[in-house]
Amino acid sequence: MNALIKAATVIDSKSPHNGNVVDIRIKDGIITEIASTLTPSKNEKTITFDDLKVSSGWFDTSVSIGEPGYEERETIKNGLKVAALSGFTGIAVNPNTNPIIDTSADVAFMMHKSAGNATELFPIGALSRNSESVDLAELYDMQQSGAVAFGDYQKPVSNPNLLKIALQYTQGFDGLVLSFPQENDIAGKGQVNEGVMSTRIGLKGKPAIAESLQVARDLHILEYTGGKLHIPTISTKASVHLIADAKAKGLDVTSSAAIHNLFFTDDVLEDFNTNYKVTPPLRNQDDVEALIQGIKTGVIDFVTSDHNPLDVERKHVEFDNATYGTISQEATFGALLTLVSEKKAVKLLTQGRARFTNKEQSIVEGANANLTLFSIKGSYTFSESDIKSKSKNAAFLGAKLKGKVYGIVNNNQIILND
């Protein structure tokens, strides 16, 4: 693949071209020239867009894909296409398939099935066998097959000793442990955030302390054991403060927030729209403001789509019976751009790669062309025509978003939106 990207503003703090408008020549998937003006060659594709910005490829730290086992929700092939059209050149895929990804053979299947696509798939192996929080899964063997982290998706590590052992064991091979922030005994059968809205609409609530208590426990264990811990999709003000204190102590901890927990409050639940039924639940305004402050100050390291396709039978039911989850990947950049600057948005969408893969990308000559192309101009209302996923359970339907994703360049391929 040979291409020439014309008149693109580089947004990449690690690149010497950061902030400059440049042309970028790509030959056989490698950036060969970067200059203020380059002349197109006959054998290369010229890429031009209005208000074109280019950054290192975005990385999504929490994505669910149905395959294997739930192909009716999403396949690997289409899931990677959705990610590419949403601007992501790499996605960390959760183990909530059937069977659960808890062996090296499962990881090898995911790696083999996803090979050759423009967007790269990085499996997250289950932390415990069958994600039951009883026995550790074969972590080292999974890493050797390609797993980049270990966690039980949306299932807390109920056994604290299991987390302790995992953090100790993974230090031998620099493994990353994920721990979902929820104390199940306190969360109980809660459906939404416990507060004014849960009382008004008559749904059982999950109190914020169910999250912060688990976060506090996990951070105490991390302080004792050492190791690398990632706390995915936090949603409360207390969690932000706890993680800030842990970082001040020098603990090796990162955290993420899901884009829907940053964009919506639990006020949207008044109509019982099951697309807003997510876990952790949408919280109140104070929590959302604390999360936004957290991403601005760096306490929260990454913003994820927490993209979770679900078939219609799991959402078109009574709220109590609906499954937790929303598709958000197609809306992630547009929603994030309403909250922070384009430079901060790019940082939040790129720095997860180093944490999960131990590799960094930059826009420099000689590097692999791993790029996201986008614009920050304009606004639009997210509609069904913007959904690329097989499943349609989108919380962002009707939301006012900003900017536009043009596509990606990666793995010697170009994927562009129509």
Q: What is the DSSP letter of 338?
A: T
Question: Which residue among 12, 23, 306, 386 is the active-site one?
Answer: 306
Q: Distance of CA 66 to CAs 75, 110, 385, Å? A: 6, 11, 22
Q: Which residues of 248-284 are buried (b: 16+ CB within 10 A; e: fewer)?
A: eeebebbbbbbbbbbbbbbebbeeeebbbbbbbbbbb
User: 10 Å Cβ neighbour count for 405?
Assistant: 21
Q: What is the DSSP letter of 71?
A: T
- Give dist(CA 405, CA 408) in Å, integer: 9
Instruction: Give the HSE-up count for residue 304: Cα atoms under 13 Å, Cβ half-sphere.
Output: 30
Hey, what amino acid is at 172? G
- Give dist(CA 19, CA 272) in Å, integer: 45
Are 79 and 63 in contact by the 8 Å Cβ rule? The answer is yes
- Give dist(CA 356, CA 352) in Å, integer: 6
Are 330 and 343 in contact by the 8 Å Cβ rule? The answer is no
Please say if 306 is a catalytic residue. Answer: yes
Burial class from Cβ neighbours inside 10 Å (0-12, 13-18, 19+) for residue 209 reads: middle
Are 223 and 197 in contact by the 8 Å Cβ rule? The answer is no
Indicate which residues carry an active-site annotation. 306
